[in-house]
């Protein structure tokens, strides 16, 4: 019984000591909150058929494409982000018999840097090589990338 009483008293003293240390520590600790804000830099681009008026949603090359001919198509690339970006272009999802061998797409702005808020004229050029069968059609996605400088 005495041993139990001593254990209870000892536990009570230990709790009191922890509380006293917490009170003393709280009494010697100061806290200050400082507001903070910022803007995350972002890369964003928009494509237009004209000088920033009509959004580019599709490039239709037409239905009378001839072998051994290049077809230019002008677009505007706008950097609507907050940092400069470097441009690149790829294609994917080609559909059409032999289309990836007989039809190629290039452009004149690969590696070009566009300032934040800047715009530039780019020319996509579709080239139909000899040997593309008359009457065949194709589809592809044109992917234009802007990478933060």
Task: Tell me, yes or no, whether 30 lies in a domain.
Answer: no
Task: Provide block-wise average pLDDT over 10 residues at a time, the chain (149 residues).
Answer: 58 66 65 74 88 88 81 94 94 75 87 95 89 74 93
- Give the pLDDT of residue 4: 58
Total count of domains within the chain: 1
**Would you say residue 88 lies in a domain?**
yes
Both tokens of 59, joined, read 């490039």
Q: For 35, what's the count of Cα atoms within 13 Å in the CB-facing half-sphere?
A: 1
Give domain status of residue 90, yes or no. Answer: yes
Query: Quick check: is 25 in a domain?
Result: no
Residue 87 in any domain: the answer is yes
Which residues have CB under 8 Å from 125's CB, separation 6+?
A: 70, 71, 72, 73, 105, 106, 107, 108
The pLDDT value recorded for residue 64 is 74
- Domain at 111, CATH number: 2.60.40
Q: Check residue 40 and give its pLDDT.
A: 72
Residue 4 in any domain: the answer is: no
The pLDDT, as a whole number, for residue 56 is: 92
Asked if 106 contacts 60 with a C-beta cutoff of 8 angstroms, the reply is: no
**Does 127 fall in a domain?**
yes
Is residue 66 in some structural domain? yes
Q: Provide the residue range defining the domain that includes 55.
A: 45-148
Q: Which DSSP string corresponds to 25-68?
A: HHHT----------------EEEESSSSSSB-------S---TT
């Amino acid at each position: 019984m005495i041993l139990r009483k001593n254990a209870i008293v000892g536990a009570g003293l230990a709790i009191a000591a922890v509380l006293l240390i917490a009170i003393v520590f709280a009494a010697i600790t100061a806290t200050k909150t400082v507001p903070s804000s910022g803007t995350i830099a972002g890369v964003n681009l928009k494509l237009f058929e004209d000088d920033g008026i009509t959004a580019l949603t599709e490039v239709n090359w037409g239905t009378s494409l001839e072998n051994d001919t290049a077809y230019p198509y002008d677009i505007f690339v706008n950097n609507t982000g907050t940092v400069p970006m470097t441009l690149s272009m790829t294609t994917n999802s080609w559909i059409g018999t032999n289309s990836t061998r007989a039809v190629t797409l290039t452009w004149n702005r690969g590696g070009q840097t566009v300032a934040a808020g800047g715009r530039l004229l780019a020319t996509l050029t579709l080239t139909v090589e000899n040997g593309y069968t008359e009457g065949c059609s194709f589809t592809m996605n044109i992917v234009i990338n802007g990478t933060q400088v």
